[in-house]
Amino acid sequence: MTTTKDLDKQARDILKQNDRGGYTIPTKGLYPYQWNWDSAFAALGFAQFDIERAWQELETLFTAQWDDGMVPHIVFHQSDPGYFPGPDIWGGTGPVPSSGITQPPIAATMAHLIYQLDPQKGEPHMRALYPKLRAWHDWFMQWRLDQGAVYITHPWEAGRDNTPEWDAPMERIDPANVGEYERRDTQHVDGSMRPTKFDYDRYIWLVQMGKRLNWNQPQLRVENPFQVADPTMTFTLLRAQRDLLALGEALGLNINGLADDILRLESGAQSLWNPELQSFDARDVRTGEWANCVSNASFLCWYAGIDSPEQSAQLERVLSQVKYGVPSHDPASPKFDGRRYWRGPTWAIMNQLIGLGLEEMNHPLAEKLRATTRDLIAAHGFAEYFDPTDGSPAGGKAFTWTAAVWLSWAN
Ligand code: 2M8
């Protein structure tokens, strides 16, 4: 019988094994670099047993911050041919080889939680990180708002690579001139669990366009056909700005503009309410069309401090349809696929963010979600993600963020 203590140890061992010296890779083989939001989860995991190492994880991530404030989604500290597309394909223009896009801004929220665990040790780290976090958030506010909601310029930016929300805008891309390339992901895990060739052709086409434009935001705004206002980005940035405001007030740091940013993002979040679907939803910036998807990102509203009885009804509905929620796509939709990456599977990290929001609002489903996530990991291990119908593990194994979620929330 595996006890909580055994699982705690296994989780700590995974973080230590995936530690590459100051930063953590998501999992050996499939993801050999530092990923932005993976690292933020890892930091909160480390904070449960090694608080200095937690701060170091975030500090290493910010060594890759670009001059314009953007913090890239992958940092290529040392080259590894096992992942495609690597540093040369991306041509990132920051101080450390990196990708040219970003990821959900959860670092400020994680930093706030780590700071609260030990304010005395955390204060110097937090003071140093604060202006960098502000610069990153300002970059979003300057370049990435549509009706106050944050839009993405690549499916990888939202962290939810192949969710059905991107199907229609991806259809509009003609990747005819993308050229030959060799995928590496399907050499590590079964292709049936990964995005399709249709998706990859367009992922790479978008990377090639960004590189050609030198990742220049004003030019990308004009040329990029893929611009989708996204609940993940909008809710996480809104939450992150609230965290910076609280930290800035507590530490006497510069909070100028934050209250206005929060108001703008609050109205942006409401602009993602799809009244016909009765859910928060993604919106195609180019066409104004709704994705018409209830995804796990729709349920990040509470994390952003927004309550919604209608969204609660949706949560109750999707949780009643699978054994292990929250599914990344609506099980009632014909596009639901329980094993294919972000088209149905359950992700412990999303459950943690949704769960934190529910707990803060004393929501009646809060405890159920935490208990389900706990049972899921205890029974099926530290997989990258899980089939929500039976909990079977999928994707990469010994995964950093699942171990971190266990330590910091689910255990
Ligand atoms: C997945 O995304 C990467 C590209 O960024 C990939 O499939 O190659 C996503 O699940 C993303 O959210 C995650 O950060 C990354 C590493 O775990 O893998």
Atom of ligand 1 nearest to the CA of 74: 5
Here the CATH number for the domain that contains residue 316 is: 1.50.10.10
Supply the pLDDT for residue 1. 77
Distance 261 CA to ligand 1 centre (A): 28
Supply the pLDDT for residue 147. 98
- Cβ 38 under 6 angstroms from ligand 1: yes
Options 57, 161, 165, 243, the catalytic residue: 161
Mind listing the pLDDT tens digit for each residue in 69-88?
Answer: 999 999 999 999 999 999 99
Distance 309 CA to ligand 1 centre (A): 31
Supply the pLDDT for residue 134. 98
Supply the pLDDT for residue 227. 98
Supply the pLDDT for residue 334. 98
Supply the pLDDT for residue 373. 98
**How many domains would you assign to the chain?**
1
Supply the pLDDT for residue 245. 98
User: pTM higher than 0.90 for the full model?
Assistant: yes
Per the annotation, the verdict on 223 as an active-site residue is: no
> Domain range for residue 362?
4-410
Options 284, 330, 337, 384, the catalytic residue: 384
Per the annotation, the verdict on 384 as an active-site residue is: yes
Q: Whose CA is nearest to atom 12 of ligand 1?
A: 159
Which portions of the chain are predicted below pLDDT 70? none
The three-state (H, E, C) secondary structure of the chain, written as one string = CCCHHHHHHHHHHHHHHCECCCCECCECCCECCEEHHHHHHHHHHHCCCCHHHHHHHHHHHHCCCCCCCCCCCEECCCCCCCCCCCHHHHCCCCCCCECCCCCCCCHHHHHHHHHHHCHHHHHHHHHHHHHHHHHHHHHHHHHCEECCEEEECCHHHHCCCCCHHHHHHHHCCCCHHHCCCCCCHHHHCCHHHCCCHHHHHHHHHHHHHHHHCCCCHHHHHHHCCCCEECHHHHHHHHHHHHHHHHHHHHHCCCCCCHHHHHHHHHHHHHCCEECCCCEECCEECCCCCECCCCEHHHHHCCCCCCCCHHHHHHHHHHHHHCCCCCECECCCCCCCCCCCCCCCCECHHHHHHHHHHHHHCCCCCHHHHHHHHHHHHHHHCCCCEECCCCCCEECCCCCHHHHHHHHHHHC
Supply the pLDDT for residue 193. 87
Mind listing the pLDDT tens digit for each residue in 268-326?
Answer: 999 999 999 999 999 999 999 999 999 999 999 999 999 999 999 999 999 999 999 99
Supply the pLDDT for residue 243. 98
- Cβ 161 under 6 angstroms from ligand 1: yes
